[in-house]
């Protein structure tokens, strides 16, 4: 579900031809996010979710304030990973009751801010219990908490595994009873559990299996809870296809597993509300990164298109954001979408490092200086996940259309 419309041979984003959009933005490089595609993806997820399962947007995937403000009324809550993201969420009008804050290294001041704001804190250590107890006493408001659990299983097939084994995230399953006892003694307001075993998974049956395991674990831990469970964040991990051969996620097994979980939860944890936390899956395909060709060079028979953008704006597309073996994101010459003349070329940025590659030996429309290179699947983990200060080049722009 990425931009596909064209007009006079140009890609359109938000119904605007690319060259015109570049003039509107006033510069290249830039990211553009399509409102219609964002809304359509949320609607598709809603259609796959059983009644009663909530949908949260994980702000870390794309914290652009305008985008968060757009997403806020479409979803049931926002999940943040820092006080900075919490400020973006609250400024977007989010109800603090529907904001949760996770992260393995929350600073003391961030915990105080969270208590003052009234958001739900996903506890990740005994240290946080102590600090939240102090903040609650000083502010006269009991901290709202859920325990983030590092489960005794992982999400098989995940691009990044964030649960199972030794992890910095959450509280190990076997240590959860002690944390529950401590938070109760400290007078914190317990609300539930948070599990996030992995991310970027394209296998619906594996996500379904992890969801079922997470639910079973929550049921076991609920027996140790000081008060009835009200909130269960089952995480996300839903992936999008980036590379040749990858298939879009089949939601049918996930939907079936969630329906079973919802039925069981209504019987076994009455009053508990389950939510999913999705980031990349909601926004990743709705965005493009656009850079302008500055130079066309041929070096020993290989064509290089040198652009004004690169890894400092789009670390993920360069392959330096977790890829073991670099593979190309989908890339096109956005103002030559219907060109018949093609060639094999590499798209590189202006940085003095061989790591600054946006496309390596791809078949692309023949391009010249002034043309616009488009990197698709760029709505998640773009500017905020990239080293924009590297080598002192200008920052990129962002626009929601």
- State residue 159's pLDDT score: 47
Cα–Cα distance for residue pair 265/151, rounded to 1 Å? 19
- State residue 164's pLDDT score: 54
What average pLDDT does this structure show over 224-240? 94
Please give the helix or strand (H or E) that residue 48 lies within, else none.
helix 35-48
3 state DSSP class of 74: helix
DSSP state of 202: -
Helices (H), 94-143: 108-117, 126-139
- Per residue in 94-130, pLDDT (tens digit) is 999 999 999 999 999 999 999 999 999 999 999 999 9
pLDDT at 154 over 70: no
- Quote the mean pLDDT of the chain: 94
> Which of the two residues, 322 and 340, has the higher pLDDT score?
340
127 contacts: CB under 8 Å, gap ≥ 6: none
- Per residue in 325-375, pLDDT (tens digit) is 789 999 999 999 999 999 999 999 999 999 999 999 999 999 999 999 999
Most confident of 52-66, 153-167, 315-329: 52-66
- Per residue in 15-60, pLDDT (tens digit) is 999 999 999 999 999 999 999 999 999 999 999 999 899 999 999 9
- State residue 166's pLDDT score: 64
pLDDT at 155 over 60: no
Q: Strand order in 16-17's β-sheet? A: 6-7, 10-13, 16-17
What average pLDDT does this structure show over 5-21? 96
> Which of the two residues, 238 and 170, has the higher pLDDT score?
238
- State residue 197's pLDDT score: 78
Chain center to CA of 333: 26
- State residue 161's pLDDT score: 53
Contact in structure between 272 and 265 (CB atoms under 8 Å): yes
Chain center to CA of 235: 11
Cα–Cα distance for residue pair 161/99, rounded to 1 Å? 24
* Mutual angle of helices 126-139 and 176-185, in 10-degree steps: 20
Q: How many other CB atoms sit within 10 Å of the CB of residue 122?
A: 30
In sign, the C-alpha dihedral spanning 33, 379, 315, 376 is negative
Taking CB atoms within 8 Å and a gap of at least 24, the contacts of 317-326 are 317/289, 317/358, 317/375, 317/378, 318/349, 318/355, 318/356, 318/357, 318/358, 319/355, 319/357, 320/355, 321/381, 321/385, 321/386, 322/159, 322/160, 326/357, 326/360
Phi, psi angle pair for 291, to nearest 5°: -130, 155
What are the DSSP calls for 253-266, one per residue? HHHHHHHHHHHHHH
- What pTM value is reported for the model? 0.94
- Judged on CB neighbours under 10 Å (0-12, 13-18, 19+), 39 is middle
Q: How many other CB atoms sit within 10 Å of the CB of residue 252?
A: 12
Cα–Cα distance for residue pair 43/331, rounded to 1 Å? 27
Closest CA to 28 of 315, 316, 288: 288
- Per residue in 283-309, pLDDT (tens digit) is 999 999 999 999 999 999 999 999 999
Torsion of CA 66, 277, 280, 18, to 10 degrees: -30
- State residue 151's pLDDT score: 87
Residue at token pair 């999400």: 155
pLDDT at 163 over 60: no
- State residue 168's pLDDT score: 67
- State residue 160's pLDDT score: 53
Please give the helix or strand (H or E) that residue 38 lies within, else none.
helix 35-48
Residue at token pair 């914290």: 63
Percent of the chain with pLDDT strictly greater than 70: 96
Phi, psi angle pair for 36, to nearest 5°: -60, -40
- For residue 199, name the pLDDT band (cuts at 50, 70, 90): confident
- Judged on CB neighbours under 10 Å (0-12, 13-18, 19+), 9 is middle
Strands 198-199 vs 231-233: parallel, antiparallel or unpaired: unpaired
Distances (CA, A) of 89 to 66, 86, 284: 11, 5, 19
- Per residue in 85-97, pLDDT (tens digit) is 999 999 999 999 9
Quick one: tokens of 98? 């529907």
């Amino acid at each position: 579900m990425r931009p596909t419309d064209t007009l006079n041979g140009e890609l359109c984003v938000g119904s605007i031809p690319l060259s015109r959009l570049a003039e509107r933005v006033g510069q290249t490089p830039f990211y553009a996010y399509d409102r219609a595609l964002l809304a359509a993806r949320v609607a598709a997820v809603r259609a796959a979710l059983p009644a009663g399962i909530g949908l949260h947007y994980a702000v870390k995937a794309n914290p652009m304030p305008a985008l968060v403000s757009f997403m806020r009324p479409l979803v049931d809550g926002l999940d943040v990973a820092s006080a900075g993201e919490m400020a973006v969420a609250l400024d977007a009008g989010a109800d603090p009751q529907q904001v949760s804050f996770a992260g393995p290294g929350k600073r003391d001041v961030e915990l105080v801010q969270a208590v003052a704001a009234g958001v739900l804190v996903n506890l990740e250590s005994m240290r946080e219990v102590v600090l939240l107890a102090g903040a609650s006493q000083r502010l006269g408001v009991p901290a709202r908490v859920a325990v983030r659990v590092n489960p005794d299983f992982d999400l098989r097939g995940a691009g990044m595994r964030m649960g199972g084994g030794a992890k910095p995230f959450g509280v190990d399953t076997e240590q959860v009873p002690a944390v529950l006892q401590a938070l109760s003694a400290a007078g914190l307001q317990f609300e539930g559990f948070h599990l996030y075993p992995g991310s970027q998974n394209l296998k619906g049956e594996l996500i379904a299996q992890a969801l079922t395991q997470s639910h079973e674990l929550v049921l076991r831990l609920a027996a140790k809870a000081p008060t009835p469970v009200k909130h269960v964040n089952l995480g996300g991990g839903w992936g999008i296809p980036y590379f040749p051969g990858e298939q879009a996620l089949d939601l049918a097994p996930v939907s079936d597993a969630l329906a079973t979980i919802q039925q069981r939860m209504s019987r076994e944890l009455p009053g508990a509300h389950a939510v999913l936390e999705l980031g990349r899956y909601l926004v990743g395909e709705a965005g493009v990164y656009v850079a302008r060709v500055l130079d066309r060079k041929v070096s020993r028979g290989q064509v290089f298109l040198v652009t004004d953008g690169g890894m400092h704006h789009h670390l993920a597309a360069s392959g330096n954001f977790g890829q073991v073996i670099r593979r190309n994101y989908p890339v096109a010459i956005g103002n030559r979408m219907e060109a018949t003349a093609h060639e094999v070329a590499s798209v590189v940025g202006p940085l003095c490092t061989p790591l600054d590659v946006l496309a390596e030996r791809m078949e692309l429309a023949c391009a010249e200086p002034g043309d616009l290179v488009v990197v698709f699947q760029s709505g998640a983990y773009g500017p905020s996940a990239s080293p924009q200060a590297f080598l002192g080049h200008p920052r990129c722009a962002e626009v929601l259309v």
